[in-house]
């Protein structure tokens, strides 16, 4: 069925790292923008929209090195993180846990959607859905059910990416079509299981799951149908040092992009083998 590129969540630093990795892979002759599916979660949704925007990889990379004037420095408070973890742990099912998170996410948000949407818009080279197959993940804040958005749904791209990255305790749920949606990372940091059916799958995962009961990308890849060729790229120790504990800090964006581009040299051979380059 073709090739799928999965871009996981990880804050503004994770987004920059993904763009750096993609640019570095391009330096090595491995261009992942020809994927039949680009699946983005949270920051990965913005990275996917950037990748398929029509700008070349060098230009996308250079955008990460500019002063992050349009970004907002913020991170969820410890109490919100604790409530989210507790809701997921205590629930009888993942959907029930995610719905519990949805019930307090609006009150716990530190910023309004009026603040959030201009930030997301600034990250996207275009407000139009790309022609190629971009799918972004979210979670229904009422039911806890997973939801995906693509150009075929008639949903504004900025709102879809905002929903995919509506981190509980930081950003409010996003209304789309009369429903409210949370960060797709509340279900999975990568949602790589949604790439099932594709023959070749490459996953860039800036962060490991930080919440209880969330699947690790390694497990999601292992569960793909037999015969699926896959590669997982996670931050090197040097990149993790750049992220620190503040992946949402805009000041880390440029350093994270550089770390990703440097790391791509090591990852290029195994990614090329999976991608069929």
Backbone angles phi, psi at 42, to 5 degrees: 55, -120
Q: Which residues pair with 4 in a beta bridge?
A: 37, 201
In a domain, 188, yes or no: yes
179-183 and 200-204 as β-strands: parallel, antiparallel, unpaired?
A: unpaired
Q: Which of 20-24, 97-101, 137-141, 242-246 has the least mean pLDDT? A: 242-246
CATH number for 176: 3.40.1090.10
179 vs 45, 124, 129, 163, CA distance in Å? 19, 24, 21, 11
pLDDT band at 126 (very low <50, low <70, confident <90, very high): very high
Kindly state the tokens that stand for 6: 């999965």
In a domain, 206, yes or no: yes
- Surface-to-core class of residue 277, CB atoms within 10 Å of its CB (0-12 exposed, 13-18 middle, 19+ buried): middle
pLDDT band at 111 (very low <50, low <70, confident <90, very high): low
In a domain, 237, yes or no: yes
In a domain, 51, yes or no: yes
Separation between Cα atoms, residue 12 and residue 19, nearest integer Å: 11
Conformation bin of residue 113: beta by default, left when phi > 0, alpha when psi is -120 to 50:
alpha
Which are the contacts of 117, defined by CB distance < 8 A and separation ≥ 6?
A: 158, 159, 162
What is the arithmetic mean of pLDDT over 30-52? 97
In a domain, 205, yes or no: yes
Segments forming the whole domain that contains residue 66? 3-72+110-275
In a domain, 61, yes or no: yes
Give percent of the chain with pLDDT exceeding 70: 95
Strands, DSSP E only, in 214-273? Answer: 229-233
pTM of this prediction?
0.94
Residue 214: the pLDDT is 83
pLDDT band at 90 (very low <50, low <70, confident <90, very high): confident
**Residue 79 in this model has a pLDDT that exceeds 90:** no
In a domain, 104, yes or no: no
Separation between Cα atoms, residue 256 and residue 235, nearest integer Å: 9
**Residue 209 in this model has a pLDDT that exceeds 70:** yes
Q: Which residues pair with 139 in a beta bridge?
A: 146, 182
pLDDT band at 228 (very low <50, low <70, confident <90, very high): very high
Count structural domains, the chain.
1
Residue 249: the pLDDT is 86
In a domain, 99, yes or no: no
**Residue 75 in this model has a pLDDT that exceeds 80:** no
Q: Is the CB of residue 15 less than 8 Å from the CB of residue 259?
A: no
Give the angle subtended at the CA of 192 by the CAs of 122 and 87, to the nearest 5°.
Answer: 80
Catalytic residues: 42, 183
Residue 109: the pLDDT is 63
Total number of residues shown for the chain:
277
* Mean pLDDT, all residues of the chain: 91
Q: Which of 40-49, 191-200, 241-250 has the least mean pLDDT? A: 241-250
Four-CA torsion 270, 203, 38, 142, nearest 10 degrees:
170
Task: Between 164 and 101, name the one with better pLDDT.
Answer: 164
Separation between Cα atoms, residue 94 and residue 98, nearest integer Å: 6
Look up tokens 């029509």; give the residue: 54
């Amino acid at each position: 069925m073709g090739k799928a590129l999965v871009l996981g969540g990880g804050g503004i630093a994770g987004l920059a790292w993904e763009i750096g990795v993609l640019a570095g892979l391009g330096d090595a002759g491995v261009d992942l923008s020809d994927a039949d599916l680009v699946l983005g979660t949270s920051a990965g949704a913005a990275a996917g929209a950037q990748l398929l925007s029509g700008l070349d990889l060098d230009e996308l990379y250079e955008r990460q090195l500019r002063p992050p004037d349009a970004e907002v420095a913020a991170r969820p408070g410890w109490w919100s993180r604790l409530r989210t973890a507790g809701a997921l742990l205590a629930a009888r099912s993942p959907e029930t846990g995610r719905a519990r998170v949805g019930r307090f996410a609006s009150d716990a948000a530190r910023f309004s959607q009026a603040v959030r949407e201009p930030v997301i818009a600034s990250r996207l080279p275009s407000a139009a859905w790309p022609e190629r197959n971009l799918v972004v993940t979210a979670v229904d804040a009422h039911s806890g059910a997973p939801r995906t958005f693509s150009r075929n749904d008639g949903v504004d791209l900025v709102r879809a990416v905002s929903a995919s990255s509506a981190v509980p305790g930081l950003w409010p749920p996003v209304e789309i079509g009369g429903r409210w949606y949370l960060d797709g990372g509340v279900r999975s940091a990568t949602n790589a299981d949604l790439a099932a059916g594709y023959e070749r799958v490459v996953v860039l995962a800036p962060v490991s799951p930080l919440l209880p009961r969330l699947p690790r990308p390694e497990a999601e890849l292992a569960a793909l149908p037999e015969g699926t060729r896959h590669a997982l790229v996670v931050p090197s120790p040097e990149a993790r040092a750049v992220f620190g504990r503040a992946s949402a800090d805009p000041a880390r964006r440029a350093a994270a992009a550089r770390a990703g581009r440097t790391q791509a040299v090591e990852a290029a051979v195994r990614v090329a083998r999976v991608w069929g380059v």
